[in-house]
A and B are shown apart, each in its own frame.
Chain A
Amino acid sequence: DQQVKQNSPSLSVQEGRISILNCDYTNSMFDYFLWYKKYPAEGPTFLISISSIKDKNEDGRFTVFLNKSAKHLSLHIVPSQPGDSAVYFCAASDPGGGADGLTFGKGTHLIIQP
């Protein structure tokens, strides 16, 4: 049973526009959520996170929104740049600080078109 789902395997966005990546989760015990970015042949790089006590967190061009009632979070990138082309993973941890490790979605491949 997949507890973290990223339903879009890929997403194509024009340079300069907004990229919106979505993530749904089923485990209501998750209380901390993270987004990682991964280039080929490299490990995931931490982007931004949000605690379940917040509904929004911003860091430069990146904003994460959390809707606890819908068990949904999204990552907004604006404006999108060519270097943003990568695979983006949504991850969640439980109140034990990740007692079962981070639970990852399967990723969304973001392609920024010039």
Chain B
Amino acid sequence: KAGVTQTPRYLIKTRGQQVTLSCSPISGHRSVSWYQQTPGQGLQFLFEYFSETQRNKGNFPGRFSGRQFSNSRSEMNVSTLELGDSALYLCASSPQPSNQPQHFGDGTRLSIL
């Protein structure tokens, strides 16, 4: 059974640009969550999607947004990139929103120059 797939694995952008990251959950999983991992803050919850609807959102500015498609695949978008957005962005999936554990992909490493 294929795991959570995130693309691209690495990305380099400059300040002010925008970026879109993609996540394909485990087959049959309908809940997708996004996390940001930085050395200083650790893993922080960004948002969760289920049935194409955002269920919850963490404490991040509106520049961070996402969506989910009918096949449960999800994308997250960051606009007007800042140096502080450099991080590992992780996607996790589970069958339902209340199901634990969540299963993580290998992440997208975003570097802002």
Contacts and interface: CB of A to CB of B under 8 A. Distances in A.
Nearest to A33: B100
Contact of A49 (B4, B41, B101, B104): B101
Contacts of A93: 100
A100 B45 contact: yes
Interface string A63-104: 000000000000000000000000001010100111111111
Contact of B43 (A41, A99, A104): A104
Contacts of B35: 101-102, 104
Given A44-B90, A96-B98, A97-B98, A102 B103 contact: no
B42 A106 contact: yes
A32 interface: yes
A43 B4 contact: yes
Contacts of A100: 45, 56, 58
B15 to A, nearest CB: 25
A99 B55 CA distance: 8
A99 B45 CA distance: 10
Interface in A1-44: 32, 34, 36, 41-44
B45 A103 contact: yes
A45 B102 CA distance: 9
Given A44-B104, A49-B101, A100-B58, 7 more contacts: A91-B43, A97-B100, A98-B33, A99-B56, A102-B33, A104-B43, A106-B42
Q: Top 8 closest A-B pairs, CB basis?
A: A97-B98, A101-B45, A43-B104, A106-B42, A104-B43, A46-B101, A43-B106, A44-B104
